[in-house]
Amino acid sequence: MTLSHKTYYADYVVVGSGVAGLRAAIELSAAGNVLVLAKSNLSDSATSWAQGGIAVALSDEDEIGLHEQDTINAGDGLCRPEAVTLLVEEGPKYITQLIEWGTEFDRAGTKLAFTREAAHSRSRILHANGDSTGREISRALLARAHTIPHLHLRAHAFTTGLIVEKGRVAGLRFIDETDNSAHEVRAAAVLLATGGLGQIYRETTNPDVATGDGMAIAYEAGAILSDMEFVQFHPTALAVKGAPRFLLSEALRGEGGILRNIDLERFMKRYNEAQELAPRDIVARAIVSEMHRTSSDYVFLDMTKKSEDFLKHRFPLIYSTCMSYGLDLARDMAPVCPAAHYMMGGVQTDLWGRTSLPGLYSAGETAATGVHGANRLASNSLLEGLVFGARAGQAMMNDAPISKRSKMTLPGSPAPQPNTTPAGPALPKVSKATPAALALKAIRDIMWNKVGILRSGKELQDALQQLVAMELPKVPHPDRADHELYNLHALATLIARSGLAREESRGSHYRSDFPYRDDEKFSKHSTVKRGEDIRFEV
C-alpha cells in the first residue's frame, strides 16, 4: 500500500552507502546538509564484501608510475590515462587520511603490510583482518559519518527515479521500505553511488543489493552510459552445490594457490606465461575453457601447500567460510568457477564525477570514469571509490554552492546500523514462482548463457531478442523488488546491445566470432543514451 506522498529538502543527496558514497558525503558535509540514502542496511554494500584489499603505491619498493602502468596494462588499451594518473597520484593521500580516521590496516610490526596480487608488478595491496578490507573501510567511514550532525544517514530508502526539471536534476524519488510509502527529496545536486549490477547474472559474487539501480535511473533520466559491455568475471568463486558463490580472493593465488582441472592437472601454463597470476579476464576464460574441455562444472583451487596456521591468519573469513561447507583449505582443494564480479562501465563521468546531466554526479562502480578500461586491475576498485568519491563531493560543492545551510527536512533517522555483513552473497530471494521471480530468473539465465564470459554475435542477438520480447509484470504500486527487476532488465538489454556493437575481443569482452583486438575501429569507449544507438567515442 502506498501512503501519502511527502517532499523533503536537503542541500545534497547521495544515493549509496559504500566507500564512494560515504567519502563523497563526508566531503560535502563541509558545505551543507547531506542526506545519504541506502536501500538496505547502511553497511550492506559491495564495499563491505570486498575481501582482496586496496591497492596503493605507498611501500618503499613501489612507485606511483609502476601502479599507473600496471593499471593501464590490465585495462587492455581502453583506460583513460588522465583518470589513471589521478587515481594513483591521489590514492596515497586519501589512504593516509583513512588511517587518520581510524582505519586499521594489517601491519608487519609497526609498518603497513603490503601483499601482491595478479597483474601487479609490486606488493602494494593493503588488507585489514586478512580478507575483510572493505568491511573495515566501511566501518571507519560510517563511524566518521555518524559524528557529523548535518550528515543524515537513511537506511531502507530505495531510490526509484530522478527528478529532472528544465534539463537539470533537481532531486529524486524514493520508497520508504518500512511502509512502502513514496517520497521526494529536493536538492542542489545528487550523487549516484549505488554500486554494481552483479545480480543480473545467475552466478555472481555480489551481494543481493547489486541490481544496478543508479545506472538504470540515470539512463531513464537521459544520462549517457558508457562501456556497458565490459563486465568482469572473477575467476574463483566457491562452487559448492547449494552454497552462494562466495568469492575466493585473488590474493589466494597471489600467495601461491594453484589451479587444477578435475584430473588434478595444473593447466594455466597452457593459457598464459604468468599462469595463475595472469589478469583475471584471462584466468576466467582459461577456467571456462578447461571446464568445457573436461566436461566439468568447476576446477580446483589448491592451497594445500600452505599451513593451516598461515591460512587461518592470512584468510580468516575465507578459511572459516570454506570450513562451514566442509572444506579445509589446508587439506582440501576447493571447487571453483567464475562468477560475475564487477562492472567497468556505468554512468559516464568526467574526472570530477560530473555526468552528462547537470546536477547529477556519479562515483564508484556506478560510474564509468575510464580508470579501469576494459578490465579492472585487482584491488583498484576501493581506491577508485575513495578518490573519485572525494572528487565528486568537491565538484558538487563548487558547482552548486550553498550560500546558507538549509534547514533539512527529513524522515526520522534510523538507529545506527552495526557492520555485520554476512560471510558471502545471499542466495537469490526467489522462493515462490511469482511472475516477477520467473522474469528475474529468465533474465539471469539469458545473461549467464549468452552474454557471459565467452560471447558470440549469434548468442548476443538471441539474448537481445529474448530480452526485448520479455513482458515484465505490471503492478499499480511497484515496490523495491519490482523496480529492481525493471532496472536489471533495462541494463541487461544495454549490455547485450553494447556487446553486439563491439565487434572485437578486448579485456573482459570476448567474442568468439571476433577473437582479436581491433584498435583501428574499437580503441574507443562505447556510449549509449536512451532512444539512441550505441556510439564509439575516443
pLDDT at 424: 44
Q: How far is CA 370 from CA 127, 238, 346, in A?
A: 25, 30, 10
384 confidence band (pLDDT: 50, 70, 90): very high
421 confidence band (pLDDT: 50, 70, 90): very low
Give the mean pLDDT of 254-274: 95
Higher pLDDT, 32 or 119: 32
Domain annotation covers residue 105: no
Q: What angle do CA 538, 362, 96 make, to 5 degrees?
A: 100
Higher pLDDT, 13 or 43: 13
Give the mean pLDDT of 493-498: 98
Beta strands in 109-257 (DSSP E): 111-112, 114-115, 125-126, 151-154, 157-165, 168-176, 181-186, 189-192, 225-226, 231-238
HEC assignment per residue over 346-389: EEECCCCCECCCCCEEECHHHEECCCCCCCCCCCCHHHHHHHHH
| CA dist., res. 385 & res. 117, Å (int) | 19
Tell whether the model's pLDDT for residue 405 goes beyond 80: no
pLDDT at 1: 37
Query: How many independent structural domains does the chain possess?
Result: 2
Q: What is the CATH number of the domain that holds 486?
A: 1.20.58.100
427 confidence band (pLDDT: 50, 70, 90): very low
Tell whether the model's pLDDT for residue 422 goes beyond 70: no
Tell whether the model's pLDDT for residue 456 goes beyond 90: yes
Q: Pick from 214, 134, 153: which is nearest to 392 by CA? A: 214
Q: Using one digit for the tens of pLDDT, what is the confidence trace for 148-160?
A: 999 999 999 999 9
Give the mean pLDDT of 453-474: 96
Domain that holds residue 439: 435-533
Higher pLDDT, 429 or 299: 299
Residue 311 near residue 291 (C-beta atoms within 8 A): no
Q: Which residue among the candidates 80, 139, 253, 280 is catalytic per the annotation?
A: 280
CB-CB neighbours of 60 under 10 Å? 6
pLDDT at 168: 97
Examine the fold and report which residue of 297, 314, 337 is the final residue of a domain before the chain moves on: 337
Q: Pick from 470, 416, 353: which is nearest to 153 by CA? A: 416
432 confidence band (pLDDT: 50, 70, 90): low
Q: Using one digit for the tens of pLDDT, what is the confidence trace for 48-100?
A: 566 668 999 999 999 999 999 999 999 999 999 999 999 999 999 999 999 99
Tell whether the model's pLDDT for residue 423 goes beyond 80: no
Domain annotation covers residue 73: no
Residues 6+ apart with CB under 8 A from 178: 156
Q: Using one digit for the tens of pLDDT, what is the confidence trace for 231-245?
A: 999 999 999 987 888
pLDDT at 182: 93
Domain annotation covers residue 507: yes
Tell whether the model's pLDDT for residue 492 goes beyond 90: yes
Domain annotation covers residue 416: no
Domain annotation covers residue 430: no
pLDDT at 49: 61
How many residues does this entry show for the chain? 538
pLDDT at 425: 44
The pLDDT > 90 percentage for the chain reads 80
The strand pairing partners of 231, in sequence order, are 343
Tell whether the model's pLDDT for residue 47 goes beyond 90: no
Name the phi and psi angles at 361, rounded to 5.
Answer: -130, 160
Q: Using one digit for the tens of pLDDT, what is the confidence trace for 114-136?
A: 988 878 999 999 999 877 888 99
Query: What is the per-residue DSSP string for 91-114?
Result: HHHHHHHHHHTT----EETTEEPE
The pLDDT > 70 percentage for the chain reads 93
6 confidence band (pLDDT: 50, 70, 90): confident
Domain annotation covers residue 345: no
pLDDT at 119: 83
Domain annotation covers residue 305: yes
Cell of 438: 520467473
Q: Is 266 a catalytic residue?
A: no
Higher pLDDT, 432 or 1: 432
Query: What is the per-residue DSSP string for 264-307?
Result: --B-GGGT-TTGGGS-HHHHHHHHHHHHHHTT-S-EEEE-TTS-
Residue 448 near residue 7 (C-beta atoms within 8 A): no
Domain annotation covers residue 462: yes
Terminal Cα-to-Cα distance of the chain (whole angstroms): 48
Residues 6+ apart with CB under 8 A from 391: 86, 90, 351, 352, 353, 363
pLDDT at 46: 63
Q: Using one digit for the tens of pLDDT, what is the confidence trace for 353-376?
A: 999 999 999 999 999 999 999 999
Give the mean pLDDT of 275-286: 89
Mean residue pLDDT of the chain comes to 91
Examine the fold and report which residue of 306, 337, 368 is the final residue of a domain before the chain moves on: 337
Examine the fold and report which residue of 320, 337, 354 is the final residue of a domain before the chain moves on: 337
Q: What is the CATH number of the domain that holds 246?
A: 3.90.700.10
Amino acid letter, residue 252? L
| CA dist., res. 218 & res. 1, Å (int) | 26
Q: Using one digit for the tens of pLDDT, what is the confidence trace for 176-205?
A: 988 889 999 999 999 999 999 999 999 998
Strands 525-528 and 535-537: antiparallel
pLDDT at 410: 66
